[in-house]
Amino acid sequence: MSTSLVLLSARLLDPVTGELLPQTALAAAAGRITALGDDAEIRSLADTSTTVLDLGGAVVTPGLVDGHIHPATGADLTHGLDLSGCADVEQVRAALARAVRDLAPGAWLQGWGLDPNVFAGGPVGIAPFDAVLDGVPALLLLFDAHSMLASRRALELAGVTGPRTFDQATAEVVCDAAGRPTGLLLEEAACALVEGAAPQPTREERLERLAAALRTMAAAGLTGGHAMDANGDSLAFYGELDAAGRLPLRLRVAPWCQPGTGADGVRALIDQQGTGGRLWQTRGVKIFMDGTIDNGTAWLEHPDCHGESRHAFWPDPEEYTRVVGELHRAGVPTATHAIGDAAVRHVLDAVQKAQAEDSRPVRHRVEHIETVPDDTLRRFAELGVVASMQPTHCCDFTRADHTDNWSRRLGEERASRAWRCRDLHDSGAVVVLGSDWPIAPSPPLGVMAGARHRRPSRDLTLPPHGPQQALTALEALQGMTVNAAYAAGEEHEAGRIAVGHRADLTAFGGNPLTTAATELPDLPVLLTVVDGEPVHRDTRL
């Protein structure tokens, strides 16, 4: 077997101990690490076909893996007007006005990343933008991607004139007291009503957007991601990119199981497991237990300050429990979106029931876990349920003084339990870190930095939200290496630099463990290797 890659003059970092390995070089072949040793020893393994790179003392870690990401959906959603930098209604209005001036007659305006905090506690609706969007069909996606604002013209073109009923219990066309839509659409089913009326990009345009997004992720140091959807053409896109050698990340894809999925649908999800290609596979099933706190569709044990977030995403939560049990018996791991305390508790109850009925080891996960009481923490470790967290959501969408929309809705007690990464880790849970891109930026160094400093990334001088919940530098690195591998059931072949493990590697211009948290996002990514092949290489190498 010919050696395909040799890396020399490297500082190889073990994410389990946090120490540098004694070896300074490695070789890879057929996508695996085949040897570790000193430079002379490893150089001797190269032949004329081998890519040999002198890293000049760069620090090499196992490849960073985003534990929760939406590549294809994100590529579809993050086009048009970026509103994520707008801090108030006036800034949004000005951005929309500039975009409208450049808009062709009759064209739709698409925006994304809108923070509900711009409404300063007032009602979230399209009314503040009616004047600037007069006659303009517009869709403005809120940052959580669970809700959007539709302009009056967009609602008219879609034929949405009043409330609707959906299988998704928390989906809603929000209406005023007279039954007129306010422009706010909650959850995917309601958003789809108006999205379907907008012009759609071509398939080729969508494929190229996805390819560009994945290249950007690889350049930021990601070697893989746990993709939490398989909607539309996404699997076909992954297959096309993989076959063409254009897939720069290793993807583990979990298709959705929605309310109303019958026995045939569940069986189809089970049969789909393990399908894929060289760098992507369908593994696991993604399920929603609730929506989001910011738009009032989470499932809380006590309603929020508006009397909202009282219901599960599934009209009958016991149907969810039944589906989890069936998937568990088939050996299929589940990843359940559960943000509110009632949602998290119900997921843990469902897993406990499934385990009581069938003792086979299946690694289930809970995604997000934004606020939970003390008595929930220990159950993750007791049940072997992985805690999948996105700390940058806490950093960028909440505030230390609890004046943000998320905190105001929850009240002081629950807001003080925000993103309990430290408490979950200390209770024995395996904590996996991710971005939830496109909800938050995808660069993994930013995710690890946020887990450590918990400050708003746009202004690191501001105080942290819940600094007692911060992770150490080593724990943050583990959240995107060894813990991500464990969550995927791949700890025997991924997450460490060891002979026989995958040659998925990330090289940095410094040590991420000794770089200050606030400086970590700027640490140079010099090399990204996936399956033994460089997919990003800095010009300095």
Per DSSP, the residues of 257-274 read E-TT--HHHHHHHHHHTT
Please indicate, yes or no, if residue 411 is contained in any of the structural domains: yes
Residues 192 and 292 in one domain: no
Instruction: State mean pLDDT over 291-299.
Output: 94
Residues 300 and 438 in one domain: yes
Whether 391 and 517 have beta carbons less than 8 Å apart is answered as: no
Q: Annotate 359-392 with b (16+ C-beta within 10 A) or e (fewer).
A: eeebbbbbbbbbbbeeebbebbbebebbbbbbbb
- Per-residue confidence at 477, pLDDT binned at 50, 70, 90? very high
Residues 294 and 185 in one domain: no
Predicted confidence at residue 170, as pLDDT, reads 87
Half-sphere exposure of 61 (CA within 13 A, CB side): 31
Domain count, the chain: 2
Residue 541 has pLDDT above 90, yes or no: no
Whether 338 and 369 have beta carbons less than 8 Å apart is answered as: yes
Instruction: State mean pLDDT over 509-522.
Output: 98
The pair of three-digit structure tokens given for residue 153, joined into one six-digit string: 């013209």
Do β-strands 59-62 and 505-508 pair in parallel, antiparallel, or remain unpaired?
antiparallel
Domain boundary among 471, 502, 536: 471
Q: How many CB atoms lie within 10 A of CB 413?
A: 10
Long-range (24+ apart) CB contacts under 8 A made by 411-418 are 411/304, 411/305, 414/300, 414/341, 414/371, 415/371, 416/466, 417/371, 417/372, 417/373, 418/370, 418/371, 418/394, 418/465, 418/466, 418/469
pLDDT tens digit string along 39-89? 999 999 999 999 999 999 999 999 999 999 999 999 998 989 999 889 899
Give the span between the Cα atoms of 371 and 376, in whole angstroms.
10
Please indicate, yes or no, if residue 98 is contained in any of the structural domains: yes
Do β-strands 505-508 and 525-530 pair in parallel, antiparallel, or remain unpaired?
antiparallel
The pair of three-digit structure tokens given for residue 30, joined into one six-digit string: 């057929």
Residues 311 and 423 in one domain: yes
Whether 351 and 383 have beta carbons less than 8 Å apart is answered as: yes
Whether 290 and 339 have beta carbons less than 8 Å apart is answered as: yes
pLDDT tens digit string along 320-365? 999 999 999 999 999 999 999 999 999 999 999 999 999 999 999 9
Please indicate, yes or no, if residue 21 is contained in any of the structural domains: no
In 24-147, alpha helices (H): 39-43, 71-77, 89-101
Please indicate, yes or no, if residue 56 is contained in any of the structural domains: no
Give the span between the Cα atoms of 39 and 323, in whole angstroms.
53
Residues 189 and 305 in one domain: no
- Per-residue confidence at 234, pLDDT binned at 50, 70, 90? very high
Predicted confidence at residue 415, as pLDDT, reads 96
Percentage of residues in the chain having pLDDT higher than 90: 94
Question: Identity (one letter) of the amino acid at 249?
Answer: L
Residues 305 and 449 in one domain: yes
Please indicate, yes or no, if residue 116 is contained in any of the structural domains: yes
Residues 293 and 394 in one domain: yes
Question: Identity (one letter) of the amino acid at 528?
Answer: T
Whether 418 and 453 have beta carbons less than 8 Å apart is answered as: no
Give the span between the Cα atoms of 27 and 42, in whole angstroms.
6
Across the chain, mean pLDDT equals 96
Edge to edge, the sheet with strand 32-37 lists 32-37, 25-29, 5-8, 51-54
Residues 435 and 289 in one domain: yes
Instruction: State mean pLDDT over 419-440.
Output: 97
**Nearest residue to 112 via CA among 132, 100, 124, 95:** 95
Predicted confidence at residue 217, as pLDDT, reads 98
Residues whose CB is less than 8 angstroms from the CB of residue 120 and which lie 6 or more positions away in sequence, other chains included: 88, 89
Please indicate, yes or no, if residue 266 is contained in any of the structural domains: no
- Give the start-end residues of each E strand in 204-302: 222-227, 250-253, 256-257, 280-282, 285-288
Predicted confidence at residue 67, as pLDDT, reads 98
- Per-residue confidence at 231, pLDDT binned at 50, 70, 90? confident
Residues whose CB is less than 8 angstroms from the CB of residue 464 and which lie 6 or more positions away in sequence, other chains included: 400, 453, 454, 455, 470
Residues 315 and 168 in one domain: no
What is the chain's percent helix, strand, coil content, to nearest 5?
35, 20, 45
- Per-residue confidence at 145, pLDDT binned at 50, 70, 90? confident
Whether 17 and 513 have beta carbons less than 8 Å apart is answered as: no
Distance of CA 476 to the CA centre of its chain: 16
Whether 222 and 74 have beta carbons less than 8 Å apart is answered as: no
Do β-strands 365-368 and 386-389 pair in parallel, antiparallel, or remain unpaired?
parallel
Residues 315 and 422 in one domain: yes
Whether 432 and 477 have beta carbons less than 8 Å apart is answered as: no
Predicted confidence at residue 518, as pLDDT, reads 97
Whether 47 and 420 have beta carbons less than 8 Å apart is answered as: no
Whether 58 and 509 have beta carbons less than 8 Å apart is answered as: yes
- Per-residue confidence at 20, pLDDT binned at 50, 70, 90? very high
pLDDT tens digit string along 79-123? 899 998 898 999 999 999 999 999 999 999 999 999 988 998 889
Please indicate, yes or no, if residue 12 is contained in any of the structural domains: no
Using CA atoms, how far residue 340 sits from 56, 416, 419, 535, in Å, is 47, 14, 11, 38
Please indicate, yes or no, if residue 225 is contained in any of the structural domains: no
Residues 300 and 401 in one domain: yes
Domain boundary among 471, 487, 507: 471
pTM recorded for the entire structure? 0.92
Q: Which domain holds residue 161?
A: 80-196
pLDDT tens digit string along 119-142? 988 899 999 999 999 999 999 999
Instruction: State mean pLDDT over 184-198.
Output: 93
Q: What is the DSSP letter of 9?
A: S
Domain harbouring 94, CATH code: 3.10.310.70
Residues 290 and 170 in one domain: no
Domain harbouring 459, CATH code: 3.20.20.140
Residue 157 has pLDDT above 90, yes or no: yes
Domain boundary among 148, 171, 196: 196
Q: Provide the greatest CA pair distance for the chain.
A: 79
Residue 487 has pLDDT above 90, yes or no: yes
Give the span between the Cα atoms of 383 and 164, in whole angstroms.
39
